[in-house]
């Protein structure tokens, strides 16, 4: 028999085995036990499972190529074999090369998309605004054999904040010569004859990016006879494929350099 206000006798007597079991029959203690059990389960979950998912991989660095089809409009350029004008040949090569580069995931800006005249300063301005990693100025000639590559003849200089417009390329000459070397290797690997040179070109001398003029001439045989004319579709395809392969290698080298610097 218990007095009013006191706990039942079984809660104040020494706790035996059967009495311990009766503790969990009490509603309050039952709820408390469930909460403690749940907390122990949560604490037992490995810390790895509670970590946030890894961040997605960063996209590859931007890579932009500018294709400059020389001449256009009233500026017809040279007269090539097969009664072809240089302005039409360079535009056709620009379109072909742009397609190949686009298929390889490169961004391409062109200085002209049709038979229109474009001022040399405007061409350089387009390349500079694009902040290109490479600019290829396309030309054609009946003189010589194979592909002629020309970098600017300006002496290399350290970059300055506000370069002179007519000699802006001076700070990029070293990189342009490296681009010329990459183009040379790819063209030679494609079985094409290559001539390297340096010259003063108004368009390239005002560019603030690696820039090379690519002049395409007919292929000559060992007897100095024309073996392949400029209007040969297979020849054009070989040249374009080699240029695309060179720019792909140039992009790989640029990404490797940027990744190493980060």
Q: How far apart are CA 227 and CA 91, in angstroms?
A: 23
Per residue in 191-239, pLDDT (tens digit) is 999 999 999 999 999 999 999 999 999 999 988 899 999 999 999 999 9
Q: What is the pTM of this model?
A: 0.76
- Which residues in the chain show pLDDT less than 70? 1-61, 256-262
CB 151 within 8 A of CB 176: yes
Q: How far apart are CA 193 and CA 41, in angstroms?
A: 74
Residue-level pLDDT at 224: 87
φ, ψ dihedrals at 194, nearest 5°: -130, 140
Residue-level pLDDT at 254: 82
Residue-level pLDDT at 46: 55
99 C-beta neighbours (distance < 10 Å), count? 12
Residue-level pLDDT at 222: 86
Residue-level pLDDT at 32: 57
Map 166-208 to HEC letters.
Answer: HHHHHHHHHHHHHHHHHHHHHHHHCCCCEEEEEECCHHHHCCC
């Amino acid at each position: 028999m218990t007095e009013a206000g006191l706990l039942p006798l079984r809660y104040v007597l020494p706790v035996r085995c059967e009495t311990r079991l009766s503790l969990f029959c009490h509603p309050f203690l039952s709820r408390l036990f469930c909460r403690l059990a749940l907390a122990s389960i949560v604490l037992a979950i490995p810390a790895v499972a509670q970590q946030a998912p890894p961040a997605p991989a960063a996209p590859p660095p931007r890579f932009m190529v500018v294709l400059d089809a020389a001449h256009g409009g009233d500026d017809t350029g040279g007269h090539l074999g097969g009664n072809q004008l240089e302005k039409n040949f360079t535009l056709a090569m620009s379109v072909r090369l742009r397609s190949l580069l686009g298929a390889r995931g490169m961004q391409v800006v062109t200085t002209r998309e049709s038979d229109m005249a474009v001022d040399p300063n405007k061409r350089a301005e387009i390349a500079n605004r694009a902040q290109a990693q490479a600019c290829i100025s396309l030309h054609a000639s009946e003189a010589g054999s194979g592909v002629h590559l020309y970098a600017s003849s300006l002496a290399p200089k350290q970059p300055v904040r506000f370069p002179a417009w007519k000699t802006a390329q001076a700070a990029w000459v070293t990189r342009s010569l490296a681009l010329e070397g990459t183009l040379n290797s790819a063209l030679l690997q494609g079985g094409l004859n290559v001539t390297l040179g340096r010259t003063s070109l108004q368009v390239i001398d005002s560019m603030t990016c690696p820039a090379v003029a690519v002049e395409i001439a007919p292929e000559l045989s060992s007897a100095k006879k024309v073996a392949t004319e400029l209007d040969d579709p297979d020849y054009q395809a070989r040249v374009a494929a080699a240029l695309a392969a060179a720019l792909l290698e140039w992009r790989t080298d640029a990404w490797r350099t940027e990744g190493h610097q980060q």
